[in-house]
Amino acid sequence: MDSLRLGTYTFSSRLILGTGKFSSTSAMIEAVRVSGTQLVTVALRRFNSQQAEDDLFGPLSAIEGLTLMPNTSGAATAKEAIKAAHISRELSGSPFIKVEIHPNPHHLMPDPIETYEACKILAAEGFIVMPYIPADPVLAKRLEEVGCSSVMPLGSAIGSGQGLATAEMIRLIIRESNIPVIVDAGLRSPSEACAAMEMGCEAVLVNSAVAVARDPAAMARSFAKAVEAGFEARNAGLMPRSGAAVATSPLTSFLGAAS
Amino acid sequence: MSTIGIILNGERKEVPAGASVADLLNSVGAESQNVAVVVNERIVRPDARASMLLQENDQVEILVFAGGG
């Protein structure tokens, strides 16, 4: 597979995994390993003595070839997101930052204004900026212009499993974008990830669909295959769609000839 | 031994006067390489934690990575 380029990094896997909502750290680590993903998101939280054993930074750091992409979840403003980015870079050493600013807990929709302000500053500071955004083609272009390394439009609300509800908007974003478009949020099934790749996305980010599956490792493997399939299909050139039938077999009418 | 009051992760806590940031991490069972430390809005790097002494009313945040999407 051609490599995915983000900032100065190249990845052979086009599946990005989130690490939240798994039943245990070991379940998450297994899913990460089995999927072949090379980029995972993590969040910042306050240290808690009781939860010290649940550290996932150590186990993730032990996986060869894995890069961390901290997110700014919890931030309600650009200022808070920038602060989270600085702390995350300090802790992880990774230049990646997923700018994720969603102040409303009911729908978790990203704030486009705070996101734009944060991205402008973080891109200028040299971060590899990956903004989580509504599927808005104008916003996507503005973010490209201020130096984001990709745009990550949502398929539907985080964890909702509603799939590619924004498909047509994502098509518009892809059409105009010079940077990778990565669908992030709301995907439920591998077929949806495949469809996103066929559409022209350069990668997909999946969390709940894997973490909440009955067998997360198997689901992660399935998503990895689907992402590869969709990417290859797109490169292979999908046939055109037609309103009418276009025959695949000859229609010579000899069968009804009088003898 | 005298103590000073700091705010750790949003809660008031008494620590020994003269304690360093590194001492604080040890006392709460935090492994230095796995945590970020912010004191009064400034990030404190690992190599500065042993020499940085806590002051009365310091606002300290000890942060780790957790699962997230």
Q: Does B38 touch chain A (CB under 8 A)?
A: yes
Q: Is residue A244 part of a domain?
A: no
- Find the mean pLDDT for residues A12-22: 98
Q: How many domains in chain A? A: 1
Which residue range forms the structural domain that includes residue A198?
A: 4-236
DSSP letter string over chain A?
-PPEEETTEEES--EEEE--S-SSHHHHHHHHHHHT-SEEEEEEEE--GGGGGG--HHHHHTSTT-EEEEB-TT--SHHHHHHHHHHHHHHH---EEEE-----TTT----HHHHHHHHHHHHHTT-EEEEEE-S-HHHHHHHHHTT-S-BEE-SSSTT----STTHHHHHHHHHH-SS-BEEES---SHHHHHHHHHHT-SEEEESHHHHTSSSHHHHHHHHHHHHHHHHHHHHH-PPPP-SS---SS-----TT---
Q: How far is A212 from chain B (nearest CA, A)?
A: 12
Q: The domain that contains A185 carries what CATH number? A: 3.20.20.70
Contact between chains at B61 and A70 (C-beta distance less than 8 A)? no
Residue A90 lies in a domain: yes
**Residue A163 belongs to some domain of the structure:** yes
pTM for this one?
Answer: 0.94
pLDDT in tens, A139-198: 999 999 999 999 999 999 999 999 999 999 999 999 999 999 999 999 999 999 999 999
Is A141 tagged catalytic? no
Q: Which pLDDT band, with edges at 50, 70 and 90, does B63 fall under? A: very high
A109-118, A209-218, B32-41, range with the lowest pLDDT: B32-41
CA distance B36 to chain A (A): 6
The reply to whether A42 touches chain B by the CB within 8 Å rule is: yes
Domain boundaries, given as residue ranges, for chain B: 3-63
Give the CATH H-level superfamily of domain B3-63: Beta-grasp domain (3.10.20.30)
Position A247 in a domain? no
A242 is a domain residue? no
Nearest CA in chain A to B32: A91
Q: Do A44 and B35 touch (CB under 8 A)?
A: no
Asked if the structure places residue A254 within a domain, the reply is no
Residue pairs between chains A and B whose CB atoms are closer than 8 Å: 95
Instruction: Kindly indicate whether the ipTM for this predicted assembly is greater than 0.90, answering yes or no.
Output: yes
Residue A101's DSSP bridge partners are none
pLDDT band at A54 (very low <50, low <70, confident <90, very high): confident
